[in-house]
């Protein structure tokens, strides 16, 4: 009698970060960027073959970066673009006198809603390309969705309004994702799984001219009068499916 693995629900996710905070890290993280201009010089961004959970469980849950520890039946895939809800970003020094020099307010909405439409995605198993499409067709269906905008008073810049934005693509339910065939895509144990995204020249041209990401300004009291926190822009890829786990007492090679 042959052994039979148990198929249990599972998912893998990996994250690329763009933030000035990246430049302060003592140990650089592969595929993370400190500025949009640095990101614009990359030909492609890859997921699942560059990082593992050592970068932090909030950003990655892989045990190994280059091989799957279990056989996997991949059922869905998504690409999510996430940006700060505090959309008013400030340059250095921060805050600027009168709060106007070195400020940008549109990057959050641009990153979440425009950039995915001008970005391609390729899903690979070993050397086989199993999916090639537009990132906007792979909505994450988690995180902020739709769009909300507003303005709030930032006291440290003499009462000038600061912008707030929350947006994203998809419907907030994990079932509304890109689905593979009814039986999914079988990926053997120790195979290499990867997703590669590429920006169009239009996006890369934009990013090469941007000075951000900047900082988010928070008023404090009594001193200092403000705290400048580096903003974070992220791209996150998630694959859901069923991994095949050996049953207790039926371990096999």
Q: What is the pLDDT of residues 48-105, one digit of tens each?
A: 999 999 999 999 999 988 889 888 999 999 999 999 988 888 886 544 444 445 788 8
pLDDT at 250: 57
3-state secondary structure of 145: coil
- Whether 16 maps to a domain, the answer reads yes
Say how far apart CA 41 and CA 121 lie, in whole Å. Answer: 18
- Whether 253 maps to a domain, the answer reads no
- Whether 170 maps to a domain, the answer reads yes
Low-confidence ranges of the chain (pLDDT < 70): 1-4, 92-101, 146-161, 221-225, 246-253
- Whether 250 maps to a domain, the answer reads no
- Whether 118 maps to a domain, the answer reads yes
- Whether 53 maps to a domain, the answer reads yes
- Residue 190 in tokens: 């120790």
Contact (Cβ atoms closer than 8 angstroms) between residue 233 and residue 213? yes
Q: Which domain holds residue 35?
A: 6-245
pLDDT at 98: 43
Say how far apart CA 232 and CA 33 lie, in whole Å. Answer: 10
Facing residues of 33 across strands? 18
3-state secondary structure of 39: helix
- Whether 229 maps to a domain, the answer reads yes
pLDDT at 100: 46
How far is CA 126 from its chain centroid? 22
Q: H or E segment at 108?
A: helix 107-109
- Whether 34 maps to a domain, the answer reads yes
Contact (Cβ atoms closer than 8 angstroms) between residue 154 and residue 99? yes
38 DSSP assignment:
H
Q: How many domains does the chain have?
A: 1
């Amino acid at each position: 009698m042959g052994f039979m693995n148990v198929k249990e629900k599972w998912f893998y996710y990996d994250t690329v970060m763009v933030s000035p905070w990246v430049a302060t890290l003592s140990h650089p993280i592969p595929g993370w960027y400190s500025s949009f201009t640095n990101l614009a010089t990359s030909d492609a961004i890859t997921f699942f073959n560059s990082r593992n959970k050592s970068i932090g469980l909030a950003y990655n849950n892989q045990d190994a970066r280059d091989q799957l520890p279990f056989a996997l039946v991949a059922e869905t895939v998504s690409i999510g673009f996430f940006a700060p809800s505090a959309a008013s970003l400030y340059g250095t020094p921060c805050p600027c006198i009168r709060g106007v020099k070195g400020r940008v307010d549109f990057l959050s909405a641009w990153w979440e809603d425009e950039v995915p439409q001008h970005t391609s995605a390729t899903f690979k198993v070993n050397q086989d390309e199993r999916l090639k499409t537009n990132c906007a067709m792979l909505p994450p269906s988690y995180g902020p969705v739709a769009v909300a905008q507003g303005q709030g008073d930032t006291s440290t810049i003499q009462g000038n309004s600061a912008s707030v934005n929350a947006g994203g693509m998809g419907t907030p339910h994990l079932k509304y994702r890109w689905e593979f065939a009814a039986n999914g895509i079988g990926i053997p144990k120790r195979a290499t799984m990867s997703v590669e995204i590429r920006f169009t020249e239009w996006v890369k041209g934009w990013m090469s001219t941007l000075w951000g990401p900047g900082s988010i300004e928070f008023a404090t009291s009594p001193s200092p009068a403000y705290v400048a926190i580096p903003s974070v822009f992220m791209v996150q890829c998630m694959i859901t499916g069923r991994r095949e786990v050996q049953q207790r007492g039926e371990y096999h090679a």
